[in-house]
Amino acid sequence: MEGLIKSARGMQEAGAVLPFSVYSSVHEQRIVNVPIIKPLLICVLDGSKKLGGQGEIECPTGSFVILSNRPGINMRNIPGDAEYLALLVEFEYDDFNCLPPRGARSEPFVQGEIGPALQKTLQQFVEWSAFAPQAMWPVRRQELLQLIYHLGHTQVGAVVEAPSLSHKLHGMISANFAEDITADALAARLALSESTLRRKLAAEGATLQAIKDRARLGYGLHLVQTSFDPIGRVAERCGFLSQSRFTDKFKQAFGVTPSELRKTRLID
């Protein structure tokens, strides 16, 4: 595990665009309603993680969990002797096409141990990211899924479900937070009228503004967890004109302010 940790840290510190993220903290983190927009692999390399309202999914050091796309989930990140450290890989829906045909989604998550084969493959994935073109990222993500499947977690294909309209809009908005894209422009990209777009969203119990806020705040959560940019700069990168507005919205969404969460990553 030490080799994987060293490689992941080294790549993170290099500051390149990567097909994975590294989250760490030296104090416990409690975050509510964390949005999982695409299926997500979380590998706990140090410390432990608890997921769900009552912490019903427990992920100790050396374990992984793949979460299905869902509106939000509560998380506790608990440091071990030194820290909490996790490697995260977000999948695209098409990545799962490499697996045998599956029926309707039946599993909200898949969990297991990071054995020698998966550990070595993850390390290769991390180190390969230093020089591989982004066009090849899907190939290595699919390799991870296939390995997990052939290690006996055959239910992994049942985790993913087709993206809803809300998920599609979330992805379109996330592509450029600097642009306050209009409902009419979004509808045109989907070959829908604006009225049809809003009607379909209402049927999903969603609104365009709520999706915009969730996309921006989800990105803000990622930046607070993976960078040390000033909170004002994080707010700006997420498309907020006011740091105080960003802080208020962040607190409402996740139950903690950006500054409070940032402090969990700092040694007292």
Is 63 inside any structural domain?
yes
Q: Is residue 246 part of a domain?
A: yes
C-alpha to C-alpha distances, 182 to 84, 168, 209, 245, nearest whole angstrom: 40, 15, 10, 21
* Separation CA 102–CA 29 (nearest Å): 36
Last residue of a domain, one of 158, 192, 220: 158
Q: What is the pLDDT of residue 115?
A: 96
Question: Which residue range forms the structural domain that includes residue 97?
Answer: 2-158
Query: Both 111 and 224 in a single domain?
Result: no
- Ordered alpha helix ranges (H), the chain: 2-14, 116-128, 137-150, 165-174, 183-189, 194-203, 208-226, 231-237, 243-254, 258-263
Which of 135, 133, 132, 156 has the alpha carbon at shortest distance from 144? 156
- Residue 148 sits in the same domain as residue 190: no
Is residue 169 domain-shared with residue 154, that is, in the same domain?
no
Q: Among the three residues 158, 177, 204, which one is the final residue of a domain in this structure?
A: 158
More confident residue, 47 or 205: 47
pLDDT (average), residues 210-217: 92
Same domain, residue pair 153 and 101 = yes
Q: Is the pTM of this model over 0.85?
A: yes
pLDDT at 267: 81
| Domain stops at, among 130, 158, 186 | 158
**pLDDT score recorded for residue 181:** 85
At 41, list the tokens.
């692999």
Q: Which pLDDT band holds residue 174 (cuts at 50, 70, 90)?
A: confident
- Region 162-179: what's the mean pLDDT? 84
Does residue 268 belong to any structural domain of this protein? no
Domain count, the chain: 2
Question: pLDDT at position 161, please?
Answer: 77
- Cβ neighbors of 209 (< 8 A, separation 6 or more) are none
Residue 150 and residue 199 share a domain = no
- Cβ pair 42, 88 in contact under 8 A: yes
User: Are 18 and 143 contained in the same domain?
Assistant: yes
What CATH number corresponds to the domain at position 197?
A: 1.10.10.60
Which two structure tokens, joined as six digits, stand for 110? 């898949």
Largest CA distance in the chain: 55
